[in-house]
Structure 1
Amino acid sequence: MSINASHRKRLLAVAIGCSLLVSSAASALTLEQAVSQTLVTEPEIQQAFQRYKESEEQINIAKSEYLPTIDLNGGYGREMTDSPSTRASNNNSSVSLNRREMGLSLRQILFNGFFTVNDVERASRIAKSQHWGLINIAEDKALEVVGVYIQYLRTEQIHKLSRQNLSNHERIFRQIKKKTNSGLASTSDLSQISGRLARAKANLVSATNNLQDAAVQFKRLINSRPDNLFMPKPDAQSIPGTLQNAINRSEENHPALKVAGEEIEAITARRNQTQSSFYPNVSLELNGNWNNNLDGVEGDNNDLQAMVKVDYNLFSGGGDIAKYRQSSHQVNQAKENRQQVYREIVEGTSLSWNAHQNLQEQTEFVRQHVVAAKASQQAFEKQFSIGRRSLMELLDSENELFEARIDYINAEFDTLNTSFRLLHATGQLLSSMNVALPSTWNKAEGEFWEKFMDLGENASVELFNQ
């Protein structure tokens, strides 16, 4: 019975342990998951997404000019007419009749100086610019998530190290206090270790505050608690091998450059729109009216019209030419803006590359310092126990090791951060992390228009087959 009971207890302990491990793994959040979660919940990204969808509707608005406008009007009511014709035909009195009106008109633009073509091009380029702008904001937010994620891991390790440092000082304090009580150590040694112990406690309080701040920032940006985080590893194959390679990737992939390029094309299309005023407007107009009892005359009054109309402005005071010159200056301004964006991207890429290279070298030297400080601290502790080192020297060695370890933690996480910064500078942060963009970001432009045209084509095919 006792053996079975013991066996059941072991099974229960194993089951509880497994459930805890599963629960811990389920609540863990990788850096990639944190970025993906932010892309669909962060308000600034959602605002950019709505701007993109708004610009897509502008394409539908522009393309609507390819289709005719059809208007229907009608009316019915009582009309009293007192006119020369009614007085002549009705013994100088007015006429009251039930008036009815109904009209149908269709207007199709045949030619408007390529205004609609350029308007569609302008709207399409703006939508593409907004799409790349959305991706640019997503890249920036992904880098911000990386920074918050790494900062929490950094402060977590420093907090753990501060607790260990306090534990070491408490151990030395107990030893010195015991020696002081037995007369083997002076009261000055006790005062000295008491001061260092207070400093270690203050360091832990500061580390705790930094850890709590990092948790708040994590929650604000990622909308999740920083529980059981994993140490992230950037994709080594995505990191460029040379500075020139990094710059080339930035030129090819950075979304901010693509935004600036699409803005040039959009403004160019708007400039071409201004040339439409130099051409005539040609339209087809069909009108039909079916009226009854108009203006005191009893009976039907119907008419049908089918006309091709031409409108041509011959002179507008030079305003049309001025608008064209104005838009040409705007095109040049957009080109200079792209050049400025390019320079800023090259600068950012160069700075990220330099930081990445230098911090890798610096981290190795800091690691060597930790190894040397650890060896020194261990030697000083042994020598102190046999009276060959003073308490001051032992405490200084403890403090040097503590600060060296903090420097190494900072250098290690700074190096990790610069790797992600370099990927961000080349416009490849999201792709290097294999973070898929939300499917709603990739819908085709002018979706409503395309569905409408597909519907029209299908209807035409069915009618032809009949």
Structure 2
Amino acid sequence: MWPIRRLVSCAFIVVSFPSQALTLLEAVQIGLNNNVSLIASRKGVEENAYNIDVSRSKFLPTVSANATSTWSGNRTVLSHTDDTTNSYNDHGYSVSLSQSLFNLADIYKYGTAKLDFNIEEIKNENKTQEIIQEIAVQYFEYLKNGAQTRATKAELDSSLARLKQMQRNVELGNVAASELYEVVAQKEGIANRLRTLGKDKDVILNTLELLTQYPVIPTQDLERSLILSEITFERSGDLLEQAMQYNNDIIVSEKTLDRSFRTLKETGSNFAPSLSASASYRHDDSNNFDPITTPGATGISDSKSLGLTLTVPITTGGSDYYAYKKNEKTIERNELLLLDTRNTVKNDLETSILNINDFSQSIFTFENIIRANYSSYNGIKRAYDLGTRTLTDLLAAESKLFSAIRDYESAKYNYVIESIRLDKTVGNLSPLSIEKIMALMVNESSIRDMDVIPEHLKN
């Protein structure tokens, strides 16, 4: 598993970029620095760390001090004699100390606080991997959109050239006007698809900017010719074993179950006795004394006390008992949730592997389809120029060719996207994973300038 300390250290790398154009790793690093929900998650870890200190304070002594000063005045009205008045001040201060010597509840609560902090760390690590996944997926969605857009633009350019040629032929009377309508319908359909792709591109860029809080423009793309292999059965078993050990959802579920057992112990500790000690000192000074009636009186007093208290709980109306029974049911529920989480992760892992293997096979299949459609299109085009094939045949062949190109490009990007999701499911998605993916990538401009039909598929 990618340790949280290493993830956080990567997240706080100060990155400074001169423009919006970013590599995949740069986009991920900026997202780790700037993503608002991830920053909030880190704050949650820091906040939770103080709960440990709060619980630890129960083992430390409690010291308090107070001081008082009181002025009192009295006047008595008497008959047949002088009135009496009396005023005086009382001063005093005290210091007290108390110390818990033995309390099972405090011991268990301290352990629970540390466990809660550990759970929060794992959740933050999970959130970090989620942000890496979301940024990487959107990055490749943008590249997939670009590949489909290039193919669709090439198809539209071909359709516009044919439309211009057909309009000229209709004007010269070489072809019937009805054939023009087929070309127009095809051109409008392609233009509509291209418009939708433009909209999807803007949506992806907006999502990337939301994730990174930075206007990202990808600068890398996948190499045109890649060998994207299947995942073997033996490798699938290893991945499943890793996921059961390192998947963050499973770890959080396991820790939550552990916490339930600790909470049960906390509740059970309410039936155990506790022992505490206390000490106090008090000093009082009052000038309210009469030296005639109480000779030698000073008005000063000091008191000290030491105490040891043993508390034995007897009954609280049954609330502790019912709380204990409730926590037993909580354990049963969390055991079922842990089982469900493991089953869900297993299913997600197997689904990702099936998808990856399917995309791998599809890439090989689409390569053969493109080769066949390319040869078919060239043959039908020559036959159409000679007048032995119809316009409908040519348009159908062209649509099949460009459709196969789009499917081929989508399969490549979907393979990588599913691989990223697989790493997240296993629990090892990190900036190091992104660096490995970048080994499959080249500068995006070099791909953009190439023909939409890869050279290795024209033979």
The match for 2:98 is 107
Q: Deviations over 1:422-441 (max 9, x none)?
A: 11111112265268xxxxxx
Q: Deviations over 1:15-65 (max 9, x none)?
A: xxxxxxxx9996432223322322332232233223222221111100011
1:145 to 126, 130, 135: 135
Secondary structure of the residue aligned to 1:288 is strand
Cα distance in 1 between the residues matched to 2:134 and 2:102: 50
Secondary structure of the residue aligned to 1:433 is helix
Q: Aligned AA for 1:348?
A: D
Q: Deviations over 1:344-365 (max 9, x none)?
A: 1111111111111122112211
The match for 2:420 is 420
In the TM superposition, residue 224 of structure 1 has moved relative to its aligned partner by: 2.7
1:293 aligns with 2:283: no
The match for 2:349 is 349
Q: Aligned AA for 2:416?
A: L
The match for 2:52 is 59
In the TM superposition, residue 73 of structure 1 has moved relative to its aligned partner by: 0.6
Structure number having the greater helix percentage: 1
Q: Specify every segment of 5 or more residues in structure 1 that has no aligned partner in the other structure, as ranges.
A: 1-22, 436-466
Cα distance in 1 between the residues matched to 2:262 and 2:17: 56
The match for 2:441 is none
Secondary structure of the residue aligned to 1:74 is strand
Q: Deviations over 1:224-246 (max 9, x none)?
A: 33324323699999999532222
Cα distance in 1 between the residues matched to 2:228 and 2:33: 23
Q: Counterparts in 2 of 1:31-46, with a 5 A limit? A: 31-46=24-39
Secondary structure of the residue aligned to 2:147 is helix
In the TM superposition, residue 296 of structure 1 has moved relative to its aligned partner by: 6.8
Q: Is the Cα contact below 8 Å between 2:71 and 2:89 reproduced in 1?
A: yes
Q: Deviations over 1:98-155 (max 9, x none)?
A: 121211111111112x222211111111111111111122222322222211111111
The match for 1:242 is 235
In the TM superposition, residue 274 of structure 1 has moved relative to its aligned partner by: 2.2
Structure 2 CA distance for partners of 1:81 and 1:29, relative to 1, 3 Å? farther
Secondary structure of the residue aligned to 1:313 is coil
**Higher mean C-alpha displacement, 310-319 vs 416-425:** 310-319
Q: Is the Cα contact below 8 Å between 2:155 and 2:190 reproduced in 1?
A: yes
**Number of aligned residue pairs:** 406
Cα distance in 2 between the residues matched to 1:105 and 1:239: 71
Structure 2 CA distance for partners of 1:185 and 1:432, relative to 1, 3 Å? same
Cα distance in 2 between the residues matched to 1:167 and 1:24: 36
Q: Deviations over 1:181-215 (max 9, x none)?
A: 33333323333323322333222222222222222
Q: Aligned AA for 1:127?
A: F
The match for 1:201 is 191
Structure 2 CA distance for partners of 1:238 and 1:30, relative to 1, 3 Å? farther
Q: Is the Cα contact below 8 Å between 1:99 and 1:292 reproduced in 2?
A: yes
Secondary structure of the residue aligned to 1:242 is helix
- Structure 2 length-normalised TM: 0.80
Q: Is the Cα contact below 8 Å between 1:294 and 1:301 reproduced in 2?
A: no
Structure 2 CA distance for partners of 1:235 and 1:96, relative to 1, 3 Å? farther
Identity of aligned residues (%): 17
Secondary structure of the residue aligned to 1:395 is helix
The match for 2:263 is 270
The match for 1:169 is 159
Q: Is the Cα contact below 8 Å between 2:231 and 2:353 reproduced in 1?
A: no
Q: Specify every segment of 5 or more residues in structure 2 that has no aligned partner in the other structure, as ranges.
A: 1-15, 291-297, 436-459
In the TM superposition, residue 82 of structure 1 has moved relative to its aligned partner by: 9.7
Structure 2 CA distance for partners of 1:41 and 1:288, relative to 1, 3 Å? same
Q: Aligned AA for 2:186?
A: R
Q: Is the Cα contact below 8 Å between 2:28 and 2:431 reproduced in 1?
A: no
- Structure 1 length-normalised TM: 0.79
The match for 1:323 is 323
The match for 1:390 is 390
Cα distance in 2 between the residues matched to 1:422 and 1:134: 19
The match for 2:173 is 183
1:405 aligns with 2:405: yes
Cα distance in 2 between the residues matched to 1:214 and 1:319: 54
Secondary structure of the residue aligned to 1:225 is coil
The match for 2:339 is 339
Q: Aligned AA for 2:320?
A: D
Structure 2 CA distance for partners of 1:188 and 1:318, relative to 1, 3 Å? closer
Cα distance in 2 between the residues matched to 1:49 and 1:81: 64
The match for 2:70 is 77
Secondary structure of the residue aligned to 2:299 is strand
Cα distance in 2 between the residues matched to 1:259 and 1:125: 10
Cα distance in 1 between the residues matched to 2:234 and 2:31: 30
Cα distance in 1 between the residues matched to 2:102 and 2:433: 50
Q: Is the Cα contact below 8 Å between 1:81 and 1:295 reproduced in 2?
A: no
Cα distance in 1 between the residues matched to 2:383 and 2:232: 48
1:378 aligns with 2:371: no
1:216 aligns with 2:206: yes
1:157 aligns with 2:147: yes
Q: Is the Cα contact below 8 Å between 2:27 and 2:216 reproduced in 1?
A: no
The match for 2:305 is 305
Secondary structure of the residue aligned to 1:156 is helix
Q: Deviations over 1:311-343 (max 9, x none)?
A: 223343444333333323322322222111111
Q: Is the Cα contact below 8 Å between 2:25 and 2:431 reproduced in 1?
A: no
The match for 1:450 is none
Cα distance in 2 between the residues matched to 1:269 and 1:295: 58
Q: Aligned AA for 1:358?
A: D
Structure 2 CA distance for partners of 1:189 and 1:237, relative to 1, 3 Å? closer
In the TM superposition, residue 172 of structure 1 has moved relative to its aligned partner by: 1.6
